[in-house]
Structure 1
Amino acid sequence: MSALTFRLKGEPDQRIDCSSLVPDHLAKRSTADIEKLPVGTTRRGLRAGDLFEISGDDASDIRFEGGSARLDRIGESMSGGSIRVSGDAGFRAGRLMRGGQLMVEGSVGDLCGSGLQGGRIRVKGDCGARLGGPDAGEMKGMGNGVIRVSGNAGERAGDRMRRGVILIDGDCAKDAASRMIAGTMIVGGRTHGAPGRLMKRGSLFLMGGAERFTATFIDAGVHDLLILTLMARELEATIGDIPFDGAPMRKISGDTAVLGLGEIYLPA
């Protein structure tokens, strides 16, 4: 068997809904059936075969050859298997995933990993706003799983995060980890705005420092904690290289405007 491959014929002239092109939905479907799946978002009724050259037969291993910022909802709600995108992806990539792996070799739009419940997402480029956060009108952000972004992230990454791990190797725009409830978020570069605003619990590692903190955070001094070493070992075993090793770090506690049990760590 060979990977089920969607080779993009050209840049789409409309936004494309790729939510049906996931392992769960394509298992046991023939190429002819897959070509008929609707992917358009306008009245033209665009189908998968109009946009992609489709080959291969292993629906547990899906490849998108050629990416576009208009390919939305790639990997949405998938529960197993793997998807690899050789290029960019649009918004809501990996939203509501419950398992499996999603790899995007380019950049992604807003709401990547929104409401993630399991599985792994890797973005080698940049990502848009609200990484792992809730969609409009929702109360829950990411609930489990792992997201790693090699580039920079947009504003409000980790909003309402409840469990899981987010690692951003580059910089992060304003208000990272806003309203965070639990989980772990690591930013290797500079964090802008006021990170951790209204966070209740959770751990936020800001290795490139932060632009500022709100007045409701408390500087608790430098700590040499065994738990930091244990966390570093566990995270490295789970997601690979991370930008801290368990050495002493400065702890900022808050947000005392709410429950106040969150922890922000900075290089000592």
Structure 2
Amino acid sequence: MTEGVLINKMTETGKSAGEMEEVTLIPNKAIDIKLEADVITPDSFAGKSAEEIGMLSVWQGPTTYPLSDFFEVLGNAGSSAAETLIRIKGDAMRIKRIGEGMSAGKIEIEGSAGMHVGTGMKGGEIVVYGDADSWAGMEMLGGLLHIKGNAGDHVGCAYRGKWHGMKGGCIIIEGSARHQLGGGMDGGEILVEGNVEGFCGIRQNGGLIVVKGGALRTVGVEMAGGTIVVGGKIQRFSPGFEFVSMENKVTSGETEIIGEFKKFTGDYAISKRAKGALYVSADANPEL
């Protein structure tokens, strides 16, 4: 499988860091109870001084505290979200909802990120230099979420009790991801350089998922639309898919992936009118 086209197309994000005002957050103490910090977005910081940013509220359990109780805040934000870069210098695995709903600008996390990073983001860019906990990019609408390590469960997924997950934007995971990647996905693109575990693309309705490694089981189960490409071995193949043809190219929107694939459609176990397309590496899955 080729790598360059998809990644290069997805990393076009607008303003460069050199054109943005930078706010640096430096953790100043260990965090025991996890923080709910959906205020850490360029939208919330825009137009504010370091002192004003420090006074923004975060939740810890049932109590609110100023952001400055947990971070040293350096630098003033830009006049708009698009002109604001937030840099978290340290691990943020115990900080939830960073970048939630952001519309523009950039966040760089120089460590790992807690649950719900990039949830519902509409635009801009988030780069996580470590791992990301579960629910990264949940119900994402636009923008780029780039995770340089591994990701947990439910990336780009629908929330509990909902049917529709990610609708737009792009998620790149340079490592591996766990269960239910892209569950309920309606649009957008997810690229995983490594492997996934169970239920990748469960209830997928649209969009593109590319897994360059292998998958454990139930890829595309209950899928009604969209495209999944798996470049490695699928350990347990779902029975509701029917073989269609051999293909040497997968095209989805502006994205093109080259390789030798077996194309299946389904999941017919859930609907005879299903239009999901599942492309599986022919070399890695000779028994299918």
Structure 2 counterpart of 1:140: 164
Q: Size of the alignment, in residue pairs?
A: 256
C-alpha separation between the residues in 1 aligned to 2:172 and 2:208? 12
Is the 2:48–2:77 contact (alpha carbons within 8 Å) kept by the matching residues of 1? no
Structure 1 counterpart of 2:23: 4
Structure 2 counterpart of 1:205: 229
Identity level (%): 29
> Pick from 12, 23, 40: which aligns with 2:59?
40
1:247 Cα deviation after fit: 3.3
C-alpha separation between the residues in 2 aligned to 1:94 and 1:104? 10
Is the 2:25–2:89 contact (alpha carbons within 8 Å) kept by the matching residues of 1? yes
Structure 2 counterpart of 1:235: 255
Q: Which amino acid aligns with 1:153?
A: A
Structure 1 counterpart of 2:263: 251
C-alpha separation between the residues in 2 aligned to 1:13 and 1:247? 47
Q: Is residue 150 from structure 1 mapped to residue 174 from structure 2 by the alignment?
A: yes
**3-state secondary structure, aligned to 1:63:** strand
Q: Which amino acid aligns with 1:3?
A: E
1:248 Cα deviation after fit: 3.5
C-alpha separation between the residues in 2 aligned to 1:172 and 1:64? 28
1:188 Cα deviation after fit: 1.0
1:43 Cα deviation after fit: 4.4
> Pick from 235, 242, 262: which aligns with 2:276?
262
Structure 1 residue runs without a partner (length 5+): 237-244
> Pick from 30, 35, 40: which aligns with 1:21?
40
> Pick from 191, 205, 230: which aligns with 1:167?
191
Is the 1:143–1:163 contact (alpha carbons within 8 Å) kept by the matching residues of 2? yes
Question: TM-score, normalising length from structure 1?
Answer: 0.90
Q: Which amino acid aligns with 2:38?
A: S
Higher strand share: 2
Q: Which amino acid aligns with 1:83?
A: I
Is the 1:147–1:166 contact (alpha carbons within 8 Å) kept by the matching residues of 2? yes
Change in 2 beyond 3 A, CA 1:46/1:77: same
Is the 2:266–2:277 contact (alpha carbons within 8 Å) kept by the matching residues of 1? yes
**3-state secondary structure, aligned to 2:124:** strand
Q: Is residue 188 from structure 1 mapped to residue 212 from structure 2 by the alignment?
A: yes
Is the 1:11–1:68 contact (alpha carbons within 8 Å) kept by the matching residues of 2? no
C-alpha separation between the residues in 1 aligned to 2:160 and 2:69? 31
1:16 Cα deviation after fit: 1.1
Residue by residue over 1:190-219, the C-alpha shift from the partner in whole angstroms, topping out at 9 and shown as x without a partner, is: 111211001001110000121122221112
Q: Which amino acid aligns with 2:214?
A: R
Q: Which amino acid aligns with 1:252?
A: F
Q: Is residue 215 from structure 1 mapped to residue 239 from structure 2 by the alignment?
A: yes
Question: TM-score, normalising length from structure 2?
Answer: 0.84
C-alpha separation between the residues in 1 aligned to 2:177 and 2:259? 26
Change in 2 beyond 3 A, CA 1:2/1:183: closer
Structure 2 counterpart of 1:239: none
Q: Is residue 98 from structure 1 mapped to residue 122 from structure 2 by the alignment?
A: yes
The RMSD of aligned alpha carbons is 1.7
